[in-house]
Amino acid sequence: MSQRYRIAVIPGDGIGREVVPEGLRCLQAAAEAHGFELECTEFDFACADYWARHGEMLPPDWRDVLGGFHAIFFGAVGWPEVVPDHVSLWGSLLRLRRGFDQYVNLRPVRLLRGVRSPLRDREPGDIDFLVVRENTEGEYSSIGGRIFEDTDRETVLQETVMTRTGVDRVLRYAFELAAARPRRRLTWATKSNGIAISMPYWDERATAMAQRYPEVAADSDHIDILTARFVLQPDRYDVVVASNLFGDILSDLGPACAGTIGIAPSANINPDRTWPSLFEPVHGSAPDIAGRGIANPVGQIWSGAMMLDHLGEPAAAERVVAAIERVLDERADVLTPDLGGTGTTEGLGTAIAAEIAA
């Protein structure tokens, strides 16, 4: 009997609906090639239909509905014309990340063959690092409020919350990752010179963790200079670990330096496997280009490869990534506009699926 994985599929909104089918096409090709099965169940949890009907982004029993799957394959959620972003995101993606304790958001940044970096003189191999983002706490918080409303004294407080548990577990994950890589380098993002309570704490825990990994060369950069160095010296980085907000920023900026946000994958991982992990591209629902069939499906497909790896199918995962890289390098005829081509979402997805099957 072949292995069978049960996957919850949430295409979501906008280009999420366009790229997820291409992701599935490629995943099925990989499953066939490697002799396992993916049993996919689709859910319409999105702004456009589900929210419009129920006034909620997820059903009240979402934990039971989704909790039994081996993984969640997620497109993108958000349709600001209908639902404000903070409502739709807190009601779905951010809720899933927290509710399923996916405390690591792993985002590889790699300049692939066939992709042109906006940076001068950068070739494939020059940019190849991992952003490890804390994914459940920190700056992303809905705690706080207003006082003296509608007066000149109106004041707003917004709480950042860090816990020892939350900080240590993501740091440990990042150090383990760095220790297993050839360069064994780790940089933690901070801003302890300006943000005076939480960031010195983050530094303190990182410094303590670094002592437990003497084999890892660890240092820190303030977030301002770190973003500058992504542009000026991207080859400097190996594993970069960051708080929720800083990781969010670095994992958009990094892929931009490596050519396009359209190809960047991410894995929202629950390393303890108490709940399913969630795999989604870094890009969002992109209302500005939705419906035109030109969205780049590579971020979604690559996220699928990360899912296969997590499920225990590393050979299949590698096959998918290799197929992506080969098509980007050799098939200029199918590249989407963000890659400088004139191809379509479906054309690029189909080409990669064919390469996987070949």
Ligand X SMILES: CC(C)[C@H](C(=O)O)[C@@H](O)C(=O)O
Which amino acids are annotated catalytic?
140, 191, 224, 248, 252
Tell me the β-bridge partners of 106: 132, 267
Tell me how far, at minimum, the Cβ of 93 lies from ligand X, in Å. Answer: 6
Does position 118 interact with ligand X (CB under 6 A)? The reply is no
Dihedrals phi, psi of 192, to nearest 5 degrees? -70, -10
Nearer to a copy of itself, 71 or 278 (CB): 278
What DSSP line would sit under 46-104, residue for residue?
Answer: SIIIIIHHHSSSS-TTHHHHHHTSSEEEEEE---TTTS-HHHHHHHTHHHHHHHTT--E
The 10 Å CB-count burial string (b at 16+, else e) for 223-233 is: beebbeebeee
The 10 Å CB-count burial string (b at 16+, else e) for 254-291 is: bbbbbbbbbbbbbbbbbbeeebbbbbbbbbbbbeebbe
Alpha-carbon distance of 22 to 353, in angstroms, equals 8
Alpha-carbon distance of 262 to 283, in angstroms, equals 6
Does position 142 interact with a copy of itself (CB under 8 A)? The reply is yes
118 binds, among a copy of itself, ligand X, none (CB under 5 to 8 A by kind): a copy of itself
Tell me how far, at minimum, the Cβ of 56 lies from a copy of itself, in Å. Answer: 17
Residues 68 to 97 in contact with a copy of itself, rule: CB under 8 A: 78, 84-86, 89-90, 94
| Per-residue x/- track, 132-171, ligand X (CB under 6 A) | ----------------------------------------
Which of 138, 112, 114 is closest to 125 using CA atoms?
112
Does position 28 interact with a copy of itself (CB under 8 A)? The reply is no
Nearer to a copy of itself, 217 or 357 (CB): 217
Contact with ligand X (CB under 6 A) among 68, 84, 144, 194: 194
Nearer to ligand X, 209 or 241 (CB): 241
Does position 208 interact with a copy of itself (CB under 8 A)? The reply is no
146 binds, among ligand X, a copy of itself, none (CB under 5 to 8 A by kind): a copy of itself
Count of positions on this chain that bind a copy of itself (CB under 8 A)? 66
Tell me how far, at minimum, the Cβ of 224 lies from ligand X, in Å. Answer: 5
Distances (CA, A) of 22 to 16, 31, 57, 141, 298: 10, 14, 24, 34, 9
Does position 191 interact with a copy of itself (CB under 8 A)? The reply is yes
Alpha-carbon distance of 159 to 98, in angstroms, equals 17
Does position 118 interact with a copy of itself (CB under 8 A)? The reply is yes
Contact with a copy of itself (CB under 8 A) among 152, 215, 272, 288: 152
Does position 287 interact with a copy of itself (CB under 8 A)? The reply is no
CB contact set of 241 (below 8 Å; sequence gap of 6+): 131, 132, 133, 134, 170, 171, 174, 186, 187, 188, 189, 206, 247
Site of interaction with a copy of itself (CB under 8 A): 78, 84-86, 89-90, 94, 116-120, 139-146, 151-165, 191-201, 223-225, 227-229, 231-232, 244-245, 248-249, 251-253, 255-257, 260-261
Site of interaction with ligand X (CB under 6 A): 89, 94, 193-194, 224, 248, 282, 284
